[in-house]
Amino acid sequence: MKRKRQSAIPLYDQSRETLQSRPVRRRDPEQPSLPFDPMPDRVEPCLALLRPGSPEGPDWLYELKWDGYRLAIHIAPKGVRIITRGGHDWTHRFPRIAEAASKLGVGTAILDGEAVVLNKEGRSDFGALQRSLGGRGGKRASTEAIFFAFDLLYFDGHDLTKTELDVRRHLLEDFLDGTVGAVQLSEEVHGDGAALLANACRMGLEGIVAKHRDRPYRSGRTGDWIKIKCVQSESFMIVGYEHSASARGGIGSLLLAARKGDGWMSVGSVGTGFKTNDAEYLRKTLHKLKMKTPVVPLKGKNYVFAQPTLIAEIEFRGWTDDGNLRHSSYKGLREIQDNAAVFDMAAIPKSS
């Protein structure tokens, strides 16, 4: 059966014209692919800093923020490897993406991007991506995920990490021009950063990412990339749960903690967002991790404390004055291989 093409929901300007990358020339198919620079086994990813507002000016380009798993695709004559942010080989978990990458017609390349599952409206859905992989600890291979490439780190024998982003983007757009299916280009969106963010939020998207055009690819959170979210979403440690005989799966809420220095700090709880199957899995797993003394100062008649092992992705609307999450909702568990960083209280924007 012919697979229907999926595409992400676009942003629009006031004229309702799609905001996307400018047309570029097709790559010369005769370009040689000589191994001038050794191909690295792994490149530590560049990470975006969370900021409450978008930087402005011609030095910045903007893209949609995807809600999925950060991956790097390594294409070589001997085959394709798909590497997670934590350095684990997940080629077998994304066979459709691997197959599409093998057909791109290039000798060597490293693509940086995000694997997502799109819903019917064309928005990336983190929960749907997790379900397609069989949940946390699942062994299922996702046939629904699409890889949106937003950077090119190595190409035809050349290490591009020391070149500025504008050059890398031009080569990436040229390379993936017209590509559809399981590997696609994450389009640059043009316009004022604040207006683009407002459009993204109105359309129910995750947010936008601003990237400095003149910077090389530098690993870690350097400030070269800035993420601005419509609704905040971060990873927190589950340190227990509130037992409820009336709630689905026996869990009334999950007890959450963030990093603070070398220890943990309670950030409240979350009682919405998980389905019955989620709650049953969480209760069963947390029961195995049960401990008498909580890792953060907590007291509750029906509290069950657990070792800090499970990391949950939580969507929330901000912070209360006493340091708890406001209007929080559970999105799913993070995989160990995804190398999710538990939120550090030192990272709260000063304007929050």
Strand order in the sheet with 188-189: 49-50, 225-229, 207-212, 60-64, 188-189
User: Which among 176, 192, 234 is positioned nearest to 50, based on CA atoms?
Assistant: 234
Are 97 and 205 members of one domain? yes
For 147, 153, 167, 178, 224, the CA distances from 104, given in Å and listed in that order, are 13, 16, 20, 11, 29
**Residue 89 domain flag:** yes
What is the count of structural domains for the chain?
2
Are 100 and 171 members of one domain? yes
Residues of the chain with pLDDT under 70: 1-35, 135-138, 336-340, 347-352
Are 329 and 268 members of one domain? yes
Are 111 and 163 members of one domain? yes
Are 239 and 311 members of one domain? yes
- Token duo for residue 131: 């379900």
**Residue 37 domain flag:** no
Are 198 and 157 members of one domain? yes
Q: What is the CATH number of the domain that holds 262?
A: 2.40.50.140
**Residue 28 domain flag:** no
Are 178 and 79 members of one domain? yes
For 31, 134, 140, 188, 277, the CA distances from 280, given in Å and listed in that order, are 55, 15, 19, 41, 5
- Among the candidates 176, 195, 229, a domain finishes at 229
**Residue 34 domain flag:** no
User: Which runs of consecutive H residues, i.e. helices, occur in the chain?
Assistant: 95-102, 126-132, 165-176, 193-202, 276-288
**Residue 318 domain flag:** yes
**Residue 45 domain flag:** no
Are 121 and 164 members of one domain? yes
**Residue 35 domain flag:** no
Give 178's strand partners.
none
Residue 41's pLDDT is: 93
Residue 136's pLDDT is: 62
- Among the candidates 201, 229, 257, a domain finishes at 229
Are 259 and 316 members of one domain? yes
Catalytic (active site) residue 120: no
**Residue 340 domain flag:** yes
Q: How far apart are CA 250 and CA 190, in angstroms?
A: 48
**Active-site residue, from 4, 65, 78, 290:** 65
Q: What is the CATH number of the domain that holds 160?
A: 3.30.470.30
Are 196 and 74 members of one domain? yes
Q: Which residue range(s) make up the domain with 139? A: 58-229
pTM over 0.85: no
Look-up of token digits 């946390």: 136
Are 339 and 322 members of one domain? yes
Residue 18's pLDDT is: 45
- Among the candidates 188, 213, 229, a domain finishes at 229
